[in-house]
Amino acid sequence: MKRNFGMTLIEITISAGLLSIISILGFLALQSSVKSSSLAFAQNQIDSALRDTFNELTNIVKQAYTSLSTDVTPPIAPQGVEPIQVINEGRGLRFYIPVRVNTPAFFQSSGPILITYENEDIGNETNPPNGILDPGEDTNNDGVLNRRLIIQQGNTTRVIGSTNCISDVRFELLSDRSDTSNQLTVLYVYLEGTMRTGPGEGPLIRSELSGTIKLEN
């Protein structure tokens, strides 16, 4: 009896088809895994950037003079000092902090310190803010879409934190519920961050952070 150990054309066709399907499924699984990793990486970047900004902001602002030390008789704060103010429709701060000096007074006040929000992602009616540097948005011609908090003290200006992805910020002064004086000695901070993943208009990843800062002066 003659035995055939080869494969028929139908068997070869079926095998090739199965291999193609397995290859496609493997590619799709790999592509999905890479995409998930990319999204997770972007999410972690935003979360870390917002935390860094909030922590540095806390270290700067917590020493600000409040009405608790400026609006009393006699005032505790140095002459001419004003309590911390929220400016620019909730997106900025103006305040003073104590500065140690080698005089009998030990401390004097700093000059006014400004924290402002810089956002080049302004958009328009037909093209809303999208996390991409569009034509006409690069106001300082550095080739980067700037969305960040800026601190200005005297002639010195610098960025707060390492982030450049802050899509919204809000400040609000609150009273300390544990203090019967009802003075505004707590600063509420809300930060929103967004980031595109991949080239061009990839998925827009979003994160939020909010917290309060107890003002010490």
pLDDT digits 0-9 by tens, 49-81: 899 999 999 999 999 988 887 777 677 777 778
Q: Say yes or no to pLDDT of 86 above 90.
A: yes
Residues in the chain: 217
Residue 73, both tokens:
């008789």
CA distances to 2, 44, 124, 169, 195 from 38, rounded to whole Å, are: 58, 10, 29, 26, 12
How many other CB atoms are found less than 10 A from the CB of residue 170? Answer: 15
Q: Are strands 204-214 and 184-196 parallel, antiparallel or unpaired?
A: antiparallel
DSSP 217: -
Q: pTM for the complete prediction?
A: 0.74
| Residue 153 amino acid letter | Q
Mean confidence (pLDDT) of the chain:
79
CA distances to 84, 115, 137 from 197, rounded to whole Å, are: 38, 29, 20
Please answer whether residues 216 and 62 qualify as being in contact, where contact means their C-beta atoms are separated by less than 8 angstroms.
Answer: yes
Q: Between residues 129 and 106, which one has the greater pLDDT?
A: 129
**Cβ-defined contacts of 75-82 (< 8 Å, 24+):** 76/217, 77/109, 77/217, 78/105, 78/107, 78/108, 78/109, 80/109, 81/109, 82/112
